[in-house]
Amino acid sequence: MDAEVVRSALAALAQGAAGEFGRQAWAALARLVRAASGQSSVALDAVQAAQASPSDTERLSDLAALLAGRAGHDPGFAAGLNLWLAEVQRHAGDGQGGIVNSVSGDVGGTLVQARDISGGIRIGDSPGQAG
């Protein structure tokens, strides 16, 4: 789990980009952490502190690192956090021109994720050329 991805989602919530959804997302994150860690934990305290002080970027970064670290050791928590992240990223981009590219699982061929392409995309050899 990449802490920067988590930090970006937390920053979007902290900036109020998601409105009412943001409040629901903070509550969902607290429930996720509580389910994994119990009623009293460093992670739960960090979630509540970050929500209370959303402009504290250091606090958001610390929380992101804590969550990513937990996800690295707990596959169940990682799965829940990935679902939470996907939902936050989807809503944070709504109405703001945002784009969220998400890939889950193995990719067996070429994958292109993009936004606002002007012109064509060519992958591989040109027609008539041997590789």
CA dihedral 29, 30, 34, 37 (to 10 degrees): 70
CA–CA dist 92, 129 (Å, integer): 44
Which among 53, 63, 1, 51 is positioned nearest to 27, based on CA atoms?
Answer: 51
Using the CB atoms, write b or e for 97-119: b if 16+ within 10 Å. Answer: eeeeeeeeeeeeeeeeeeeeeee
What pLDDT is attached to residue 28?
95
What pLDDT is attached to residue 107?
79
The ranges assigned to domains in the chain are: 3-93
In tens digits, the chain (131 residues) has pLDDT values of: 888 889 988 988 887 755 778 889 999 999 999 999 877 689 899 999 998 888 899 999 999 999 999 999 999 999 999 999 988 888 776 544 455 566 767 778 888 777 667 888 888 776 666 55
Using the CB atoms, write b or e for 44-55: b if 16+ within 10 Å. Answer: bebbeebbeebe
How big is the CA angle at 50 (ends 34 and 15), to the nearest 5 degrees? 125
